[in-house]
Structure 1
Amino acid sequence: MATTRPVVLVTGASSGVGKEAARAFAAAGFEVIGTARNAARVTAPAGVTYLDLDVTSDESVASVVKQVIDRFGRIDVLVNNAGVGANGAAEEFSVARTQEVFDVNVYGTMRMTKAVLPHMRTQRSGRVINVSSLSGFVPSPFMAIYTSTKHAVEGYSGSLDHEVREHGVRILLVEPGPINTPFGDHSVQGDTPMPLYASGRRTFDEVLAKNASGGDDPATVAKVIVAAATDRNPKLRRTAGTTAAGISVFHRVLPARIFDRIVRRFNRMPN
């Protein structure tokens, strides 16, 4: 059943930013397909169809993309929002635990993107919106593993955008700051905790909780995602939320030594 409406596929749409993005796309007139690990447990917003998806599985990714194309005849926008947090000192993460985080945040994004690109190239149009983070362009102490995944997504997106642009496809980034969601409550923890970092971890947890409670509403990020998908002349990067916008300016204009002090002060670390 082909549709005349633009079709968007949003991963990680069971809650938070992903669910709000699905809702916003539906309001903007899109045919919206959201995904979740267990779609049956999601209360779907009006106008959103949900499918089960595991972004760490090649078979699951291929199946979902095929289902969407078979049912709706097209995919115009992919929003790679599925992700997992990772909190703790880098030294506390084994390589195996680190690989688990990369498999969702980085390789999951790559799997989904590779799965839709042949279709988008054939139709000579399409956009992939990769949800990055403030941590995609600045250091985040006690989030080194998570930050590494977002830096990887940024490098992948910027490079791939140049490769596919001549085929009518754009790869774009949305970079939120702290968002008022329970995302941090479900983050992966280091599997080899060390007493050396216990105090720093406690401070980090306090900072994270404070930033989240005072963070932007997920709908703020959803609005930026829809703008990236629909603007006639899209920018490669868009920050989302007041904190991300402010720190992005500081990062561009301040000397490195001063910005380093701001990072440490922001994270309540000794100078």
Structure 2
Amino acid sequence: MKKIVLITGTSTGLGLKTAILFGMQGFKVYATMRNLEKKEALLKEAKEKNIDLHIEQLDVSDSNSIQKCIKKIIEQNGRIDILINNAGAGFVRTTEHASQEEIEWVTDVNYFSVIRTTKAVLPFMRKAKQGHIINISSVGGLVGQPFNELYCGAKFAVEGYTESLATYLTEPFGIKFSIVEPGGISSEFANSVLKNVEKTGGLQNDEYLPIFNSYMGSAKKRSENEDSGIYQSPEEVAQVVLKCALDKNPPLRIRTSEWANEFCHLKTSADPDGKKLNKEVIDQLLK
């Protein structure tokens, strides 16, 4: 029996490649995106690889859109085995320069969206006594970085949210949780961040500018250095997501590259996959 997987944000980058990879591995894939006019790239690659995907509209910022999509999947299959919360967006700006609208947007797309989709699938997974929710986070969910505080704050929230769910839903209900933490991904995600900075004129001429220019200069050097190990292809990260999905005892958290592991080493060395702390919390607070 094919496993049913729902993936958000599949129009480009990691989401697109994850949908293709899972389709190639025999999963029944519901690849979703906010704007169905952007489905052509996914359709083209699926056709080239002779994969049958189910492409559906789902806007992670709209609870009604989420409920409508999930209702359709449940009606067709009776269950959702795996939810991959991939939709998200980067954001480079100081707290002072960000508008309230931007602050709410970056938090919504990277954090509240995860809660909305998770909330929508949990009743069905709980009833089935099985399921796996895989949340795409970032090394920015473990390590705060310059000019990324709003993005990192949202990803830190995803990490805490997922850790907490794993303390009381896995043992009694069989619902597994995994957090995938990439470093840099060579995709439209990274390009859109840089384009957004350029579009808004950076920080203009103020006291932050020298620090910001230093950060952007360093980011440009890293992106041009193919040997740095920072940037992975979306396909490489998708392989890690697939590994989590196929693992009968998946990690609570996993970095996707050697560079990502080294970058987060001081935060993760005592408990690389997060399962030791998860067990300790359960033992202290639930037993």
Indicate the TM-score class for this superposition, using the shorter chain for normalisation.
Answer: 0.7 to 0.9
SS across alignment from 2:177: strand
Structure 2: where are the runs of 5+ without partners?
271-287
Q: Counterpart amino acid of 2:94? A: A
Give the direction of change, closer, same or farther, for the CA distance of 1:147–1:70 in structure 2 (3 Å limit). Answer: same
- Is residue 228 of structure 1 aligned with residue 244 of structure 2? yes
- Deviation of 1:248 after TM superposition, in Å, equals 2.6
Q: Counterpart amino acid of 1:76? A: D
Give the direction of change, closer, same or farther, for the CA distance of 1:81–1:209 in structure 2 (3 Å limit). Answer: farther
Q: Counterpart amino acid of 1:236? A: L
Retained in 1: the 8 A contact 2:12–2:188?
no
Give the direction of change, closer, same or farther, for the CA distance of 1:191–1:97 in structure 2 (3 Å limit). Answer: farther
**Distance in 2 separating the partners of 1:226 and 1:247:** 23
Q: Provide the residue aligned with 1:173 in structure 2.
A: 179
Q: Provide the residue aligned with 1:33 in structure 2.
A: 30
Q: Provide the residue aligned with 1:247 in structure 2.
A: 263
Q: Work out which of the residue numbers 83, 107, 116 in structure 2 matches 1:111.
A: 116
**Distance in 2 separating the partners of 1:192 and 1:93:** 11
Q: Work out which of the residue numbers 11, 22, 33 in structure 1 matches 2:19.
A: 22
**Distance in 2 separating the partners of 1:34 and 1:210:** 34
- Deviation of 1:163 after TM superposition, in Å, equals 2.1
Retained in 2: the 8 A contact 1:136–1:147?
yes
Deviations 1:205-257 (A, max 9, x none): 33334434541111111011111111011110010123212223344459xxx
Which shifted more, 6-15 or 187-196? 187-196
**Distance in 1 separating the partners of 2:176 and 2:63:** 23
Task: Let me know the Cα RMSD of the aligned residues.
Answer: 2.0
Retained in 2: the 8 A contact 1:177–1:242?
no
**Distance in 2 separating the partners of 1:200 and 1:167:** 49
Give the direction of change, closer, same or farther, for the CA distance of 1:211–1:181 in structure 2 (3 Å limit). Answer: farther
SS across alignment from 1:90: coil
Q: Provide the residue aligned with 2:77 in structure 1.
A: 72
**Distance in 1 separating the partners of 2:235 and 2:216:** 24
Give the direction of change, closer, same or farther, for the CA distance of 1:5–1:140 in structure 2 (3 Å limit). Answer: same
Retained in 2: the 8 A contact 1:7–1:32?
yes
- What percent of counterpart residues are identical? 33
Retained in 2: the 8 A contact 1:92–1:192?
no
- Is residue 197 of structure 1 aligned with residue 194 of structure 2? no
**Distance in 2 separating the partners of 1:193 and 1:206:** 14
- Deviation of 1:20 after TM superposition, in Å, equals 1.0
- Deviation of 1:97 after TM superposition, in Å, equals 1.7
**Distance in 1 separating the partners of 2:269 and 2:75:** 48
**Distance in 1 separating the partners of 2:220 and 2:32:** 27
Q: Provide the residue aligned with 1:96 in structure 2.
A: 101
Q: Provide the residue aligned with 1:6 in structure 2.
A: 3
**Distance in 2 separating the partners of 1:90 and 1:58:** 28
- Deviation of 1:35 after TM superposition, in Å, equals 1.1
Number of positions where the alignment pairs a residue of Structure 1 with one of Structure 2: 251
Deviations 1:73-105 (A, max 9, x none): 321000000001110222211333211111111
**Distance in 1 separating the partners of 2:240 and 2:54:** 22
Q: Provide the residue aligned with 1:264 in structure 2.
A: none
Structure 1: where are the runs of 5+ without partners?
255-271
Query: 1:148-163 residue pairs with structure 2 within 5 A?
Result: 148-163=153-168
- Is residue 238 of structure 1 aligned with residue 254 of structure 2? yes
Query: 1:140-155 residue pairs with structure 2 within 5 A?
Result: 140-155=145-160
**Distance in 1 separating the partners of 2:124 and 2:241:** 21
**Distance in 1 separating the partners of 2:210 and 2:53:** 44
SS across alignment from 2:84: strand
